Amino acid sequence: MAKLDVYNTSHKKVGEIELSDAVFNDEVREYLIHEAVKIQLANRRAGTVAVKNRAAVSGSGKKPFKQKGTGQARQGCKRAPQYPGGGVAFGPQPKTYNLSMNKKARRAALRSALSLLFKNDKLTVLDALNLDSISTKNFAGVLKGFSLDKALVITDAENRNLELSARNIKNVKVLKSEGLNIFDLMKYQRVIFTENSVRKVEGALQS
């Protein structure tokens, strides 16, 4: 069974934690990680961009001049794209970019990402991460003790002091274990767990 050292906020080892091999030492399937990241980013797109086509612009639908005898190319109406103020031809219209991934595959992708980070020694476990007050300086000092300038912090419950202390630190994000997602794991690459959050993640991702 995989193991990690457990530290306190002063970077002193206080014990060890056994990790579930099914979650943190699973086979790394890169194609699933790629698919899950692609789907998460696609679902963020609003898809609300739009332009007016010739049916949507204001103006008369009357033929601007007779069909024959003028020496000019025939025209149907002044709302056509070639006229100033006319509609845009083949412009973007609202659409949905939503993609889906079944629950089993999504969990497998998260297990692959966590296993990849574990094998690359990118995971840190703290016994607890409780701050007595809101202090960006104090939390930055905790990160400095672990030589981290970019990290995703996973907690087991809402921690307002921690969230407010971390929000002004560049390249640091705090999430509850329920919000763990593939994009943030791949973006931040270094993850700090509390002991309790490890157990919650294991419970959620057991196949």
Helix axes 30-44, 103-119, angle to 10 degrees: 120
Question: Are the C-beta atoms of residues 19 and 1 closer than 8 Å to each other?
Answer: yes
Q: What is the pLDDT of residue 207?
A: 62
CA 192 to chain centroid = 17
Q: What is the pLDDT of residue 1?
A: 75
**How many whole angstroms separate alpha carbon 48 and alpha carbon 96?**
8
Q: What is the pLDDT of residue 2?
A: 86
CA 199 to chain centroid = 22
**Per-residue pLDDT of the chain in tens (207 residues, 90 and over written 9):** 789 999 999 999 999 999 999 999 999 999 999 999 999 999 999 999 999 999 999 998 899 999 999 999 999 999 999 999 999 999 999 999 999 999 999 999 999 999 999 999 999 999 999 888 999 999 999 999 999 999 999 999 888 999 999 999 999 999 999 999 999 999 999 999 999 999 999 999 986
Q: What residue has token string 């202090």?
A: 135
Instruction: With CA atoms as reference, report the closest residue to 108 among 38, 203, 206, 185.
Output: 206
Q: What is the pLDDT of residue 7?
A: 95
